[in-house]
Chains A and B, each alone.
Chain A
Amino acid sequence: MLYREAGQFKTSYAKDQAIFPILQDRVMMVLMLVVAFVGVPMLASEYWLSTIMLPFLVFSLAALGLNLLTGYAGQLSLGTGGFMATGAFAAYKLAVAFPEMNIVIVFLLSGVITAAVGVLFGLPSLRIKGFYLAVATLASQFFLIWMFNKFPWFTNYSSSGVISAPPRAVFGDFFVTGSSASPANKYLFTLVIVCVLALAAKNIVRSHVGRSWMAIRDMDIAAEIIGIKPLQTKLGAFAVSSFYCGISGALWAFIYTSSVEALAFDITRSFQILFMIIIGGLGSILGSFMGAAFIVLLPIFLSNAPTMFGLNISVDLISHMEFMIFGALIIFFLIVEPHGLARLWQIGKEKLRLWPFPY
């Protein structure tokens, strides 16, 4: 009844190609953006903003990047953590070397640098695929982290190997990094970046670039025969994906944690982001966000649940139980809905279209 598209006619090409062709979707999207931009900064406490919303946004961006590569172009990658680290360290070096450069440009450039690194480590994808490729991308993960740890040049010879974000403003005194930045500023800045990049991602996958990725994913030989060049397509996917991951890593280092060491981007980070896109839904922009929300919220819920229910368990045991429950839930989700939360959402929408008169 509420979600009925009857009577909405598409009378122009522009309307036919709209991202949200149904009026109700558009209304909901606008509402969500209003809530995200106005409601959340006004209502949420600083704790909520900096421990839940910020990691959620940063992780969403990384999941989006990996989803472009794995979900759309079909190239399984376990090097996400390495690429995030590249973005973080590139942004740090740029921001320190060029203090007058605007932070937005710093982030974009660090994304570009990460894209170049991603292309380099994407080269094996031309010869190998599937799990062989996944293991090969682990090489980038281990090599990059080792490199950032080993050469003090990357951390500007800091003795602890930790980089701390210098204070930077986008304009005037709207500080987004450093100690003088308020969580609300950080949140708004991250939100803008994530929204812009999500919109860009949505449009990339609707364009011929995205379609050629999907063709390569579905059957690479057939795609080659209809004239899609695997070299450009696969490396392009690696470049765009690494660009997203790099910016996400830069945001992580500069805005979410403010100071970071290379080990924060180790192999568990890569798996975490892979979990997000599997739980959220492979090949779905919305799924990246849903998966990120799930994986960010679940550990917070699990570590708070025992105290909520008044159980008294030792911290050690809780952390082990968390592992267990996390693993079990992942398996449960995969069994119940292997196509992820995005698929559940889609099924829900289909049901809603007919509700309350399904016949």
Chain B
Amino acid sequence: MEFLTAIFVSPFIEIYEYPLFFIEVVLGGLLAGVMYSLVALGFVLIFKASGVFNFAQGAMVLFAALTLVGLIEHGFPIWLALISTIIVMIALAMAIEKVVLRKLVNQEPIILFMATIGLSYFLDGFGQTLWGSDVKVLDLGIPNAPIEFLGILVNQFDLVAAASAGTLVAVLAIFFQKTRIGRALRAVADDHQAALSVGIPLKTIWAIVWAVAGLVGLVAGIMWGTKLGVQFTLTLVALKALPVLILGGFTSIPGAIIGGLIIGMGEKVAEVFWGAAFGGAIEDWFAYMLALAFLLFRPQGLFGEKIIERV
């Protein structure tokens, strides 16, 4: 009985009594969700264009952040370090395409999935062999003090993260809609064979997609790295992005954004108002359960393509 009250009654009373606090929690959750979206975006880009479920996205986030911090520690100015990291990520994408993907063309999706897990082990080890495994501080001068806005406390850093995510999505949208390469990417995403037959170089496109995913990973790495410090646990944010993916659909960029917002908000609200009823720390699995419950009603996710099956 006590348990039922803790689930069905007292959280709502709390929300009703402190509406401002509730709004603050929701806002904080939304902004945290933006960070999940950043990671999920990388997954979606690659899945859309090549049908590969890229488990190494988390490792790419860590690798990009490690490279950036490592270069800055070696005395590079920030702008040069950024450019070098971008070059490294592009080179990495080309290497992955050449060494891994090209050899595994036409294999089952699960084989490619396992290859990306292998890749994530490799990148984790490689990054830490190069740059060491201590926790590094990434400071690009992003302000990190809470500001008050209409009586609600908001962290400035979260606002910057949200703004950069918004910019990133806008740039990606323009890139996909307006440029020649973007159109080729969409064509490949729609139908590999048709794209090949009109003369789109599939291999180049894959390298470009992985490079773009690497750059998205870099942005995510900068944001997460500033928040948590650059360390091994950054790869775990990939696991946080997975429920976002099933919620938003593997193939939808807006889905990744909206899914991230829903997951971020749901997680925070659940933790703050319902967490006590379950004994706390429900953040670990709540996102998955939310996504799971959601899947029962829409198996293809929020914006995923409806799967039509024929025998």
The interface-forming segment of A2-10, A97-105, A168-176, A325-333 is A325-333
| Other-chain contact of B129, A274, A324, A326 (Cβ < 8 Å) | A324
Q: Given the complex, which residues of B lie within 8 Å of A278, measured CB to CB? A: 110-111, 114
Task: Give every chain B residue within 8 A of A327 (Cβ-Cβ).
Answer: 118-125
What sequence of 0s and 1s flags, for each residue 153-173 of chain B, a beta carbon within 8 Å of any chain A beta carbon? 000000000000000000000
List 10 A-B residue pairs with CB atoms under 8 Å apart, sorted by A's residue number: A128-B299, A130-B109, A132-B299, A136-B295, A139-B285, A142-B285, A150-B278, A150-B281, A267-B239, A338-B111
For the complex, is B311 an interface residue (Cβ under 8 Å from A)?
yes
| In the complex, residue of chain B having the shortest beta-carbon distance to the beta carbon of A132 | B246
Q: Given contact pairs A135-B243, A135-B288, A321-B125, enumerate 9 new A-B contacts (beta carbons under 8 Å).
A: A135-B245, A143-B285, A145-B284, A275-B117, A317-B129, A322-B125, A324-B126, A330-B117, A338-B107
Residues of A within 8 A of B110 (CB): 70, 76, 278, 282
**Chain A residue, CB-CB nearest to B296:** A127
B125 surroundings in chain A (CB, below 8 A): 320-327
Once the chains are docked, how many angstroms separate the CA of A135 from the CA of B248?
Answer: 13
Instruction: Report if A326-B133 is in contact (Cβ < 8 Å); known contacts: A131-B53, A146-B284, A221-B309.
Output: no
- Contact yes or no, A127 B295, CB < 8 A: yes
The total of chain A residues at the interface (CB under 8 A) is 45
Query: Which chain B positions have C-beta within 8 A of A127?
Result: 295-296, 299
Does B292 make an interface contact (CB < 8 A)? yes
Task: Assess A323 versus B121: contact at CB under 8 Å? Given A127-B299, A135-B246.
Answer: yes
Nearest CB of B to A273, in Å: 12
Whether A150 pairs with B279 at a CB distance below 8 angstroms is: yes
Say yes or no: B295 contacts A132, CB within 8 Å.
yes
- Cβ-closest chain A residue relative to B56: A327
Q: Cβ of B292 and Cβ of A334 under 8 Å apart?
A: no
A39 touches B (CB below 8 Å): no
Q: Is B80 an interface residue (CB 8 A)?
A: no
* B211 interface contact, C-beta 8 A: no
- Complex Cα spacing A219 to B311, Å: 8
Count residues of B near A (Cβ-Cβ below 8 Å).
Answer: 50
> Per-position contact with A for B249-281: 1 when CB-CB < 8 Å, else 0?
010000000000000000000000000001111
Q: Is residue A225 contacting chain B, with contact meaning CB distance below 8 A?
A: yes
* B103 within 8 Å of A (CB atoms): yes
A163 to B117, CA, bound (A): 31
Report the bound CA distance from A136 to B109 in whole Å.
17
Q: Does B291 contact A (CB under 8 A)?
A: yes
Contact with B along A235-278 (1 / 0, CB 8 A): 00000000000000000000000000000000100010011001
Least CB separation from A144: chain B residue: B285
List of B residues within 8 angstroms of A138 by Cβ: 239, 242, 288
A43 interface contact, C-beta 8 A: no
Interface residues of B in 92-111 (CB under 8 A from A): 99-100, 103-104, 107-111
The answer to whether B194 has its CB under 8 Å from any CB of chain A is no
Least CB distance from B96 to A in Å reads: 10
Whether B113 sits at the interface, judged by CB under 8 Å, is yes
Given A323-B124, A327-B121, A334:B288 Cβ within 8 A: no
Which A residues from 311 to 359 make CB contacts under 8 A with B? 316-317, 320-331, 334-335, 338
Q: How far is the CA of A327 from the CA of B99 in the complex (A)?
A: 13
Question: Does A222 count as interface, using CB distance less than 8 angstroms?
Answer: yes
State in angstroms the CA–CA spacing of A326 and B118 once bound together.
Answer: 7
Q: Residue B289 at the A interface, CB < 8 A?
A: yes
Whether B299 pairs with A328 at a CB distance below 8 angstroms is: no
* Cβ of B115 under 8 Å from chain A: yes
